[in-house]
Amino acid sequence: MILVTGAAGFIGSHLCDRLVGSGHTVVGLDNFNPFYNPQIKRNNISTLLTHPLFQLWEADIRDSSALDQCFAANDFDLVIHLAAMAGVRPSIEDPEEYYDVNVTGTVKLLQQCVRSRVRRFLFASSSSVYGNNDKIVFSETDHVDHPISPYAATKKAGELICHHYHHLNRMSVICLRFFTVYGPRQRPDLAVHSFVHRIMNGLPIPFFGDGSTSRDYSYIDDIIEGVTAAADYLDNHHCYEIINLGNSDTITLTQMLKTIEAVTGCPAIIDRQPLQAGDALKTCADIHKARALLAYQPKTAFEAGVRTFFDWYLRPLF
């Protein structure tokens, strides 16, 4: 039985869909926080709620007694920990909340795993731990002790915390560093979703810098393949591993906007703004380790992924 925290979110809901679809019994834990409209999260899992292998626990990972009840009622053999305050820019506004959820919350969950003898743990880390790494492509062996935002620091802290649970409590842990994930159900604050929404509503698009900043955009289905492969890897290996999951390709801000204009058939209104503090200039994943350990092979080209996102965006709501 698998516990997925953050199950109602963008990545969590896709992961739970995949896990129950392949016959796993899944408990999804989420507190439906208001970081973005909780109704979107309820919609994400509306079909899952009717699946016999899925059960929802509405709870906060910082609530030890709620965790205790959830673990007492279920016999987990794997925890996939996705629940977090996500996003770089808002973390600069409210670092305390980010540390509370992403660091304290992660410790509470790991402590519960120790108490309940759950020995396998997957942690959602982030490409943001690389900061403004001056070496492109980003590899798991690069030094990541220079975070440039509170969010990045909380994710690096999570990786470190997981390591001592591996060392002291014999837990097998994989920390997956996700690189800018997009696709249907993507968080509304993220580029692609927010750009499509603004273009379709005739709103100006904040365009930070000269358009040369770039991201390694990773399509949700490819990421889910990587997460499930990592879960399978934990079945057979006692390990602590950090693994990049990205597309290993970079798209500049200008290219992204042109792709979105082509897919939507609408021109963008551009609102030029200076670069934002805390944003990395470029991200690109070295995925050799994911290929070697997980047979990870991202398949989705950016334009095809944006088209799938746009089809989802245009879906009838009722």
Ligand X SMILES: NC(=O)c1ccc[n+]([C@@H]2O[C@H](COP(=O)([O-])OP(=O)(O)OC[C@H]3O[C@@H](n4cnc5c(N)ncnc54)[C@H](O)[C@@H]3O)[C@@H](O)[C@H]2O)c1
Distance CA(125)–CA(121), nearest Å, equals 12
101 binds ligand X (CB under 6 A): yes
Q: Given the rule CB under 6 A, which of 28-36, 130-138, 165-173, 259-267 is the region that contacts ligand X?
A: 28-36
151 belongs to the catalytic site: yes
Helices assigned H by DSSP within the chain: 10-21, 38-44, 64-73, 89-93, 95-99, 105-115, 150-169, 193-200, 220-236, 253-264, 288-294, 302-313
61 binds ligand X (CB under 6 A): yes
181 binds ligand X (CB under 6 A): yes
Size of residue set near ligand X by CB under 6 A: 29
62 binds ligand X (CB under 6 A): yes
246 binds ligand X (CB under 6 A): no
Closest CA to 202 of 264, 275, 273, 252: 264
Q: Please state whether the peptide bond connecting residue 137 to the residue before it is cis, i.e. omega within 30 degrees of 0.
A: yes
Q: Given the rule CB under 6 A, which of 1-9, 18-26, 129-137, 265-273 is the region that contacts ligand X?
A: 1-9
Q: How far is the CB of 187 from ligand X (least distance, A)?
A: 5
Q: Which residue type sits at 293?
A: L
The first and second tokens of residue 280, run together, are 């990395």
8 binds ligand X (CB under 6 A): yes
Q: Site residues for ligand X, window 116-145 (CB under 6 A)?
A: 124, 126
243 binds ligand X (CB under 6 A): no
- For 132, counting Cβ atoms within 10 Å of its Cβ (0-12 exposed, 13-18 middle, 19+ buried), the class is exposed
Give the active site residue among 98, 151, 182, 219.
Answer: 151
Among 3, 45, 84, 287, binds ligand X (CB under 6 A): 84
Catalytically active residues are 151
